[in-house]
Amino acid sequence: MSAVSIFAPAKLNLFLAITGRRADGFHDLVSVVVKVDFGDTLRVEPAESFSLTCDDPDVPTDETNLVLRAARAFAEEVASEGAARGGARFVLEKRIPMGAGLGGGSSDGAAALRALNERAGQPLADIQLKVIAAKLGSDCALFLQEGPVVMRGRGERVEPLGPGAAARLRGRRVLIFKPAFGIATPWAYARMAAEAPASYLPVADAEARLAAWCDGTAPADALLFNNMERVAFAKHLALPTLLDELREKFGLAPRMSGSGSACFALLADDAPVADIGAAIRAAWGESAWVREARIA
């Protein structure tokens, strides 16, 4: 078996409505999620057993990493179908910052599933890969679906966004930026639960808002929404302070992605990216991470 290299893109939640808490402790949500042309690279080489190395020493490479969890789950599923087990040496080039709401770990896990399946001659169907992905993490299954998606449930129900709506998003330029600190997803959801019901958007309202944008002709900026901003912004004032400044100075419509701390803004072709980047660094310091990308 030869080596395979797979691109693992970052994601952005253009629309994220947390609609309520479920009996199992997870939250229900309605979200429009896009992948961008920026991300990690996962290389898979033949080996007897599973192992993972990464160029970023801050990334845990033990069994908690979603790449190895995905590999174990894949091997189990394939073995249960009677096919032979095999190992793999994973080499991860990490580019997506962690604790950002950009789905880096989940994307790596989904990339591992795709790579292992491709290398083994596609023993598992797409739907089987999606079932494994959904068990790995709420944000994992979306990376197995091409193009912009709508995500529901706790994140495991993923369907492509309609073609007209997707066309308003694909190819759009976007600036993604993150302060030095990250936000832990479980903390953000726990804050949402503590502030319930004020923190939630009723599911009927979320669906109506989404349908109005999908069925209409409004531009991408009109879709942007994230009701997790409230809890994140209350704790981290540096986020709303900068976003307000970007609105006032540059006429941008910036938002936080997922549970943060990364934020993003769609860019017009003539946007003064260097000036915007300078404003971000002036507010958040030189350790701020800034990256331009396009929606895939």
Interacting residues toward ligand C5P by CB under 6 A: 26-27, 29, 137-139, 154-155, 185-186, 189
Residue 78 in contact with residue 124, Cβ under 8 Å? yes
Pick left, alpha or beta for residue 173 (phi over 0 → left; psi -120 to 50 → alpha; otherwise beta).
beta
The string over 68-85, giving b where at least 16 C-beta atoms fall within 10 Å of a residue's C-beta and e elsewhere, is bbbbebbbebbeeeeeee
CB closer to ligand C5P out of 188 and 279: 188
**Closer to ligand C5P at the Cβ: 82 or 186?**
186
Is 11 a residue of the active site? Answer: yes
Give the span between the Cα atoms of 110 and 140, in whole angstroms. 6
Closest CA to 18 of 194, 227, 224, 161: 227
Amino acid making up residue 144: L
Catalytic residue check, 35: no
C-beta closer to ligand C5P: residue 25 or 216: 25
What phi and psi values does residue 218 have, to the nearest 5 degrees?
-60, 150
Query: Which residue among 28, 40, 108, 139 is the active-site one?
Result: 139
**Min separation Cβ 188 and ligand C5P, Å:** 8
From the list 137, 163, 154, the residue with the least C-alpha distance to 29 is 154
C-beta of 256: minimal distance to ligand C5P in Å? 16
Closer to ligand C5P by CB, 77 or 139: give it.
139
Minimum CB distance to ligand C5P, residue 190 (Å): 7
Rounded to a whole number of angstroms, the minimum distance from the CB of residue 205 to ligand C5P is 18
Q: Which of 11, 35, 94, 178 is catalytic?
A: 11
Nearer CB in complex with ligand C5P: 137/179 = 137
Residue 139 CB, shortest distance to ligand C5P, in Å, is 5
Q: Please, which residue, 148 or 258, has the CB nearer to ligand C5P?
A: 258
Rounded to the nearest whole angstrom, what is the least distance from the CB of residue 292 to ligand C5P in the complex?
A: 27
Residues that are catalytic: 11, 139
